[in-house]
Chain A
């Protein structure tokens, strides 16, 4: 219906999550009709980001520098390492604002049926990090799913022979949560890992 360039732009926008044909059309027309400047800026930012952004050499999170801001920060505690599944998890923990150690981002979790094994989530790189840096404790903050738990167990098995404390984040009743509405699995977990006051 439209000319080839416009069609191509609409098709390209559909690679974004949540964007179907109608949204893509709306975005395309908005950019071309009303916001040429914004469109140019978007194009430039995309080009630069795609070319420039890679992985942090140390923690595998996304960054355009060799070392990401957190890894390069000297005021961070070198003795603590938090292992998470995605860069979004790093952001979530950073926003909580209590953790002062460093991170390691797996970029996924072990999932045999999908063919994702230990080498795909950088476990070897993590073990190397544990051997070369003065890390005293590894905090496993993978998701509380079957695959997340399996990933945590696998990493703990690899880290334990190195004489490093391995801990797992707690699971249980959320803040402000009412017991009545919590599912059985979470409650069972909360009881199993209760602590004395």
Chain B
């Protein structure tokens, strides 16, 4: 397979041999790829600076197996200056992609959404809605999306006044007396999540709990380490 000037974002790099790097990239038309960048850790290599997260690059690579060899790289857009919480959030998105996205599974729409999320993170002070939107989008892209407007079994619309609970791998069903109180979510909040409206504090917490619940079976037992970063900052994510 040969890639020529493919738009891509670097997700992660790690040292390989003495002067090379193993790079995880997220390309628009080929999905997630592992690329070996030979000789870029030498002192004078100009390409090292381009192989950093959060900057769009044009990537050329070739190779038959799962590990491609980098043949060329150019900057496509300026590197986004994600500072502080935004940078933790960006690392969180990258960790999600590295952990969950299968290799070489193209998803241009997810790529666009990832890019939009990075720009939003750079511009905004409230990172949470951006993260939630990305998580729901990623889940949908992986085939685990659920409907926030229709009930799972009956297909009836979700009513703002109703109360619902999440059934794994299916969607929302009406909440009945005797069900777990903690799983109860109001229909109004579900509809708000659907439109990306996180003004309500409770709705925000429930959306976070929902994404955690949905991501947990996919992530397995290894925790997401970027969550530990948020825990240590005193400007707590609400």
Contact = CB atoms under 8 A, between A and B. Distances in A.
Nearest to B94: A113
Contacts of B119: none
Contact of B228 (A117, A158, A185): A117
Given A150-B87, A153-B87, A185 B55 contact: yes
A169 interface: no
B52 A146 contact: yes
Interface stretch (B73-81, B133-141, B181-189, B213-221): B73-81
A112 B91 contact: yes
B42 interface: no
Contacts of A116: 225
Interface string A104-131: 0000001011111110000100000000
B90 to A, nearest CB: 8
Given A113-B98, A145-B52, A188-B78, A154 B232 contact: yes
A146 B87 contact: yes
A78 B10 CA distance: 40
B233 A157 contact: yes
Given A113-B225, A149-B87, A185 B79 contact: yes
Contacts of B225: 112-113, 115-117
Interface residues of B, number: 38
Nearest to B233: A157
Interface in A130-148: 145-147
A4 interface: no
A160 interface: yes
A118 B94 contact: no
A69 interface: no
Interface string B13-37: 0100010000010000000000000
B228 A118 contact: yes
Given A113-B95, A114-B12, 10 more contacts: A17-B18, A112-B92, A112-B95, A117-B225, A146-B52, A150-B229, A157-B233, A158-B234, A185-B55, A188-B81
Interface of B: 11-12, 14, 18, 24, 46, 49-50, 52-55, 75, 78-79, 81-85, 87-88, 90-92, 94-95, 98, 222, 224-226, 228-229, 232-235
